Structure 1
Amino acid sequence: MRSDTLTDRLALGVEQGRLPDLHAVVALRHDRVILEHYGEGEDFRLNEPLGRVRFTPDTLHDVRSITKSVVGLLYGIALADGRVPEPCEPLLRHFPEYPDLAEDPRRAALTVEHALTMTLGLEWDESAPYTSAANSEIAMELAPDRFRYILERRIVDEPGSRRSYCGGASALLARLIEKGTGQAVQEYARARLFEPLGITRFEWSTGEDGVALAASGLRLTPRDLLAVGRLVRDGGGGVVPSSWLETALRPHVRIDEGSHYGYHWYVGDTWTGGFGNGGQRIHVAPALDLVVAITAGQYNRPDQSTASVVLDEVILAGIGR
């Protein structure tokens, strides 16, 4: 199917009001761009209003929780560099600054893999808006010591038994990267992931202490978001070890009937993806040789369906799959 047909489908969806707050979409199939669209709308840098933005290929955009998936890739690079612990290693062994927490046998049994799969079993709730301290991620950022805040949460599930969405897990992984490399995670990302991918411009929002927000702070252009998805499609592209991706993209824990969680990536029967609040999406479908990057502005809303409509009703329907 010709790319202009997909463009027509997208234009019709916008005209009919089925794609509210769509900011951009770039889709690649057989290494050819089959759809590229930039819109206009209200946008934010996390909770900072940016006003009405006319998006272009060069406009940086919050990717929100796709940041977590990028941290997962960085962990694999750092592991190959011998800078971070193996997934099977006890987590608290690498946070010796909290000996009191390690005295709890159940807490001492937590492993790095529990963080990678978000199966720490700790009390954590991100159901409140990301503007409220009732949200555990926001409370973590407001805490005097974010890492103690995470690690001292009450254990409510057997570790490894159930995935519970937890930005704190991403913060712990990023801290291990920083401890092992001696670099801020954003600088390690620049040298070992972004520059090898040809990504020269990005932003990574930080907390008041200057620490990068590993759960949600990354800003990329849609084309550069696509480059991350393309790397995943290509088995790491010589940047991320292929052996790490094979493990990271394996279903480790069930989320629901149609999806599992790997090492900070979502895994379906025929696809792999990264998801972010507001409608941010990386979608990789290897059998279709398809990579899609979507950005949108449906932040903190109950209905964030725009990205799914673009993917299902415009792209997948348009290519006949």
Structure 2
Amino acid sequence: MDRRAFLAGVAGALMVHPATAQMPVRQWQTLSLAESGFRPDANERIEKAFAAGELKGLHGLVVLRHGKIAMEHYFAGADEIWGDSRGIVAFNADELHDLRSVSKSIVGLLYGIALAEGLVPKPDAPLIALFPDYPDLAADPSRQRLRIEHVLTMTMGLAWDESLPYSDPRNSEIAMEHASDRYRFILDRPIVRPPGEVWTYSGGATALLGHLIARGAGQRLGLFASSRLFAPLGIDRFTWTSGTNGEEAAASGLRLRPRDLAAIGQLVLDKGRHDGRRIVPADWLEQGLTPHTRLPDGLGYGYQWYLGRDRSGAPWYGAFGNGGQRLVVAPRHQLVIAMVAGNYNVPDSWKMPVRLTSEFVFGALAQ
């Protein structure tokens, strides 16, 4: 049974949100390949590679250079919403797409926005004290060491395993969905390492962040995201799939159009400002895009964002999701890459986005 199957029948499983603030829809400018500094055959190479099966599963690609659209492609392919098949979809610029765990990085931005408004605790705040309904957990000295920063950086030191298929009830995220109280489930996991010591991929960590944002704001996470982040960027439509408890699935449920995902990447590139307005605090981005821990593959990890360096040593920031969803921000090149794909639960689904990014985007920049 897939992740969506056990959600069947849950009221409001897919929350459809229009923008809650009266902001104009974003109007995009475009650049020619020559103006944007790409090789003249860059678009043709992508189209030919897809036709040859070399970019299998790719649904959409938007590349921004200096804040304008340099490349944009859409393809038809099999798709789903959180495990529920949609059949073959002919994608276009107006089609929403699952972002899966790219949602986590966007929640990281939302936490910074909420913090600036005084709605959520600072990173150094004790975690367990924020859940007074669990006095037994609060009495555990080992759990008293947990801080919000450990949640933001996925270094909580609690047992969590999402390496199993999402059809397996032993997968920690699926077990969280089945739990009668997801927040107790997360916080009650066995302690396997001291907090802050080791990075462990955890949708439970992001679920905690989403809950704290919604609780502090006094409204649903999707409504907060709409008024504080999406509408100010001119994003007028999105959906956010809810879990079994009726709250938005913070770790994986967000659906956006590729252009709107690119707009969030551009906001990060522009250090939290858009159209003269401060949306994400600059100091939060500086903290969140600084490596706080290291992954086994050598990448850094900040506040729900992956951090790396290109061959020249220049930094890039990334948000990754199951199936080939990607948002890559490269400040040195003034480049944003947003892609969506349908290779869900495929073990090597990372290979296509990496090749597309390195060979067909960065590799197409004129030297």
One of 111, 115, 137 as aligned partner of 2:147: 111
Q: Aligned partners of 1:135 and 1:94: how far apart in 2?
A: 26
Q: Does the residue aligned with 1:188 lie in a helix, a strand or coil?
A: helix
How far off its partner does 1:257 sit?
5.0
The 5-angstrom pairing of residues 216-235 of structure 1 reads 216-235=252-271
Q: Aligned partners of 1:109 and 1:15: how far apart in 2?
A: 53
Q: CA RMSD in A?
A: 1.1
Q: Identity rate of aligned residues, in percent?
A: 51
Q: Would you say the 8 A contact 2:57–2:77 is kept in 1? A: yes
Q: Aligned partners of 1:206 and 1:127: how far apart in 2?
A: 22
One of 249, 270, 273 as aligned partner of 2:318: 273
> Which residue number in structure 1 is paired with residue 287 of structure 2?
247
One of 137, 152, 168 as aligned partner of 2:173: 137
How far off its partner does 1:256 sit?
3.6
CA deviations over 1:86-125 (Å, ceiling 9, x no partner): 0001001111111110111011110000000000000000
Q: Would you say the 8 A contact 1:186–1:204 is kept in 2? A: yes
TM-score (structure 2 length as normaliser): 0.86
**Residue segments in structure 1 that go unaligned for 5+ positions in a row:** none
How many residue pairs match? The answer is: 321
The 5-angstrom pairing of residues 76-115 of structure 1 reads 76-115=112-151
Whether 2:352 is the aligned partner of 1:306: answer yes
Q: Aligned partners of 2:150 and 2:308: how far apart in 1?
A: 20
Q: Would you say the 8 A contact 1:47–1:131 is kept in 2? A: no
The 5-angstrom pairing of residues 144-293 of structure 1 reads 144-237=180-273, 238-256=278-296, 258-269=298-309, 270-293=315-338
Q: Does the residue aligned with 2:319 lie in a helix, a strand or coil?
A: strand
Q: Would you say the 8 A contact 1:6–1:34 is kept in 2? A: no
Runs of 4 or more, structure 1, over 4 Å off, are none
Q: Would you say the 8 A contact 1:9–1:318 is kept in 2? A: no
CA deviations over 1:170-196 (Å, ceiling 9, x no partner): 001111111211111111001111101
**Residue segments in structure 2 that go unaligned for 5+ positions in a row:** 1-32, 310-314
One of 82, 91, 96 as aligned partner of 1:60: 96
How far off its partner does 1:213 sit?
0.2
Q: Aligned AA for 1:29? A: R
Worse-superposed segment, 12-21 or 99-108:
12-21
CA deviations over 1:32-89 (Å, ceiling 9, x no partner): 3221000000000011101100001000000000100011000000000001000001
Q: Aligned partners of 2:201 and 2:296: how far apart in 1?
A: 13
Q: Does the residue aligned with 1:271 lie in a helix, a strand or coil?
A: strand
